[in-house]
Chain A
Amino acid sequence: MAEIKIDRELDLKGEVCPFTFVKSKLIIEQMEPGQVLKVILDYKPSVENVPKSMREEGQEVLEVKQTGENLWEVLIRKVK
């Protein structure tokens, strides 16, 4: 599988809901359609909530993966 090109990265370790989504959204709003944002999370409920809210806003969630004991990465492609 081809490597996905990451355009922006946002480290949200220590952040909880709803601010994980709020901060991700503020970055996505300022990106161009087609660009990809990588969000790093260590708050488990956000691992479900951030992708869910992003999809509701019409963005594409490319990948959600656990990268450590309490660490996740979410890749979001800006659609609109």
Chain B
Amino acid sequence: MSFQFTEEQIKRYSRHIILPEVGGKGQQKLLQSKVLVIGAGGLGSPSLYYLAAAGVGTIGIVDFDVVDFSNLQRQILHNTERVGKPKVESAKMTLEALNPDVKVIAYNERIHKDNVMDIIKDYDVVLDGSDNFPTRFLVNDACYFLGKPLVSAAILRFEGQLTTFDYRDKENSPCYRCLFPEPPPPGLVPSCQEAGLLGVVGGIMGTLQANEALKLILEIGEPLVGKLLVFDALTTEFNIVKLRKDKKCPLCGEKPVIKELIEYDQACDIHF
């Protein structure tokens, strides 16, 4: 094992290097790792911020939206001056200013059937911080087919959910479709535009997503596989619900029927 850090890097990452579980070896792994974050919004903002601070060497960001005043209550990567700018551009500016060691790759596009595999294929870990079902299912299925670990989080009102699907071990990890076999009918589940959201819930859940990603890269601790963490901001309670692999799952079950990517209709023009 050999590595060479600059004086600035030794200072920047000293609190990592001191940790027996990380050290220079772990920091080197982080600098060599590639993480993709879907959505530079309420979840993506904190996860991207911490991943960049931690020195994840390559960070991809997918978002087709522009910064809006209504985002600034929670999307801490952006600011008032950036209203109207593409979110990926704003995110890149913030992250590069924080840590020049990080190479930020911006995908200013909507994720769809024809680009999702190409975007995901080179990354080690994928974080889903999108807020619509078509994207969630597409990202899930693509990660499953490519064998990439997927850290999935969702937020609404005062509640957050988090789980990790480790598709490097498909035999043992449940998948997103074990939990939700199909997208709900449009209109059944309100979006945060309709239902509202306490901004800090995104901060908490996005930060936990970054934590999962760092653990996967460093190969330390236990990833949240087969467990769904549910956070209630009003009672400040975290609960863990067991997730089981569904034998009848259309994607990862014994007789899978989904063998290629499916593009579901966007219910409306959804913003991250």
Contacts and interface: CB of A to CB of B under 8 A. Distances in A.
B3 A22 contact: no
Given A18-B18, A30-B1, A25 B24 contact: yes
Give the size range of A's interface with the partner.
10 to 19
Given A30-B1, A57-B20, A22 B25 contact: no
B17 interface: yes
Contacts of B25: 29
Contact of A29 (B1, B14, B18): B1
A22 B24 CA distance: 9
Chain B interface main SS type: helix
28 contacts: A18-B14, A18-B18, A19-B10, A19-B11, A19-B14, A21-B18, A22-B10, A22-B14, A22-B18, A23-B10, A25-B17, A25-B18, A25-B23, A25-B24, A26-B5, A26-B10, A26-B17, A26-B24, A29-B1, A29-B23, A29-B24, A29-B25, A30-B1, A30-B2, A30-B3, A30-B24, A56-B20, A57-B20
Nearest to A56: B20
A19 B20 CA distance: 15
What is the predominant secondary structure among interface residues of chain A facing chain B? helix
Contacts of A25: 17-18, 23-24
A56 B23 CA distance: 13
A57 to B, nearest CB: 6
A53 B1 CA distance: 21
Interface in A19-78: 19, 21-23, 25-26, 29-30, 53, 56-57
Contacts of B20: 56-57
Contacts of B23: 25, 29
Interface in B191-249: none
Nearest to A57: B20
Nearest to B17: A22
Interface string B1-45: 111010000110010011010011100000000000000000000
B207 to A, nearest CB: 24
B18 A26 contact: no
A10 to B, nearest CB: 13
B110 to A, nearest CB: 44
Contacts of A29: 1, 23-25
A56 B20 CA distance: 9
Contacts of A18: 14, 18
Nearest to A27: B24
